[in-house]
A = this chain, B = another copy of it.
Amino acid sequence: MRLLLVEDDEMLGQAIRDHLVAHGHAADWTRRLDDADAAQLAVAYDAMLLDLNLPDGRGMEFLKRLRRRGDTTPVIIVTAMDQLTMRIEGLNAGADDYLVKPFDLGELLARVGAVGRRYAGNPNPLIVVGPLELDPPHKLATVNGRKLDLSAREWAVLERLAQHPGTLVSRMQLEEALFGFGDEIESNAVEVYVSRLRKKLDAGVIHTVRGLGYRLAPQ
């Protein structure tokens, strides 16, 4: 799963991130809420781990804002043992689960898995853009009923493009879909993957906006 971890403590953050990655998750880690905000807008995470006890203390605000703008990404909040009221408030604000520090890393994985499974049963959020159909949980893509055989990165790029059909997606956003955040990269990888995708799906589906980015079948 693709996870976002918001945690200001260096040691703990590193440990959690390593553990998640070691268990096959793609985990992005931000130490501050404004970074988390940007990440959340750029990437469609499967779940989010949110430490409420951040220096600026606005974790709860962040969660409420997220829900207000209609984002339903599952959120697991993390609090210290004594902050019962914050936990209750968090659940009311739209959190899906909570963890009490200190917690076992296995426990963390179990919660993440549970949240993931809970949403796995939902009616498939099938993305349809013109002749293109994406089924994110099944990692299936079809064009005019023809099944596409996509590699991991190709899928990542196509999914990112399809998340907001018709919306312009900048090259940088696509690079974030290809690589992590930390990895600054300078190459034409995005163009290469767009090219590979165009070869596999019908012409005219991915539209180039010169100097700005790409957009999917604006019709």
Point out residues on A near B: beta carbons under 8 Å.
22-25, 64, 88, 92-94, 97, 106, 109-111, 113-114, 117, 137-140, 147, 149, 151-152, 155, 166-168, 170-172, 176, 181-182, 184, 209-212, 215, 218-219
Contacts and interface: CB of A to CB of B under 8 A. Distances in A.
Contacts of A184: 22
Closest 9 pairs (CB-CB, A-B): A152-B211, A24-B172, A92-B114, A139-B168, A106-B182, A138-B167, A106-B181, A23-B172, A152-B212
A82 B176 CA distance: 33
Contacts of A170: 24
A-side binding surface: helix, strand, loop or mixed?
A: mixed
25 contacts: A22-B184, A23-B172, A24-B171, A24-B172, A64-B110, A88-B97, A92-B110, A92-B111, A93-B114, A94-B114, A106-B181, A106-B182, A113-B181, A137-B167, A138-B166, A138-B167, A139-B168, A139-B215, A147-B218, A147-B219, A149-B219, A151-B210, A152-B209, A152-B210, A152-B212
A181 B107 CA distance: 9
Contacts of A106: 181-182
Given A92-B111, A97-B92, A114-B92, A139 B212 contact: yes
A140 B212 CA distance: 12
A58 to B, nearest CB: 15
Given A23-B172, A24-B171, A106-B181, A209 B92 contact: no
A61 to B, nearest CB: 11
